[in-house]
Amino acid sequence: MDEIQSPVPATVNEPGLLDLLVTLAENARLLIIGPLFMGICALGLGFVLPPTYQSVAVLQAEQATASLMTTAAVLDPVAAGLGMDKDDSVEEARRTLRENLKVAVGRNDKLLTLTVSAPTPQQAQATANALLQQTYLQSRPKGSVGKRLQGQLAEAQGRLKNAESAAAGMLKRLETSVVSAPGGSELARGYADLLTAAAAAQGQVSALETQLEGLNEALLVQAPTLPQKASQPKKALMVIGATLGTGLLLLLFIFVRQALRTTATDANAASKLARIRRALGLKNQAA
């Protein structure tokens, strides 16, 4: 009785680890030379690009001051003082200056950090100083607000003067009288009340003077620095990024090309590729 022979299933050639290693070995030169070449090109580009320097200043200020630094009232005089509006319009100079500065206020320490970028260290420091000076000037009350604060300051100074004069007179009376005598305790309490009123008036005077003065250099924690090294371009990051990116792209290209070559030798896969080409309206490659 003849044995019934079952058909032998066709083996499917799937790429294994050895196949991948062979592909990598055959394209090792491309995978090494390509990334190195792009890394050298990126390094050369880093030396060609113009450097950028950053000057950093820190002061005690709130978010309102950070917003004030980016307004036209501050930026336009600074741009004019630096001569940035000679070649460009006022709006363009303002936009360029706004792009070259960064203002941030810390949540915990409440310190405002001003970072200014420029092509040279001296220009970065000069721009930061100009921004701070113009911010000091613009932070002072103007118009009706300033007049109102001036009036309140004059009234507070009058109350302080009256309280100090009354306290001085009360002190003389206390020196000539005895506390245990009739009315002595009332004089002591009156003198204490006058001292309290004088202290309150002094505090109000100080607060009003601070508001009228606005921001000043006393709030400056760190003056604008003179940078020694350029912050941009970052040559090391450019070289690493270009090398790794090129290597990954070449690796992907090699595996895709190898997969297409393997598929072309498989009759079943070749027919599927032909159907895909016909569906996309592409011409079949000649056998």
- The answer to whether 103 and 113 are in contact (CB under 8 A) is yes
Domain ranges of the chain: 53-140, 143-213
pLDDT of residue 32 exceeding 80: yes
How far apart CA 70 and CA 59 sit, in angstroms, is 16
Q: How far is CA 42 from the centre of its chain?
A: 25
Contacts of 3 (CB under 8 A, 6+ apart): none
Q: Which CATH number fits domain 53-140: 1.10.10, 3.30.1370, 1.20.1630, 3.40.50?
A: 3.30.1370
Strand ranges in 101-219 using DSSP code E only, listed in sequence order: 101-105, 111-118
Q: What is the pLDDT of residues 135-189, one digit of tens each?
A: 988 888 877 777 777 777 788 788 888 888 887 877 777 777 654 455 567 777 8
Looking at every residue in the chain, the average pLDDT score rounds to 80
pLDDT of residue 116 exceeding 90: yes
Quick one: pLDDT at residue 152?
Answer: 77
How far apart CA 58 and CA 222 sit, in angstroms, is 5
Q: What is the pLDDT of residues 209-238, one digit of tens each?
A: 766 677 788 888 899 999 988 878 888 888
- The answer to whether 90 and 79 are in contact (CB under 8 A) is yes
Q: How far is CA 19 from the centre of its chain?
A: 49
Provide the token pair at 74: 């501050």
pLDDT of residue 1 exceeding 50: no
- The answer to whether 51 and 119 are in contact (CB under 8 A) is yes
- State residue 85 phi and psi, 5-degree precision: -95, 10
Quick one: pLDDT at residue 134?
Answer: 92
Quick one: pLDDT at residue 287?
Answer: 42
Over residues 15-21, the mean pLDDT reads: 73
pLDDT of residue 64 exceeding 50: yes
Between CA 232 and CA 239, with CA 236 as vertex, the angle to 5 degrees is 110
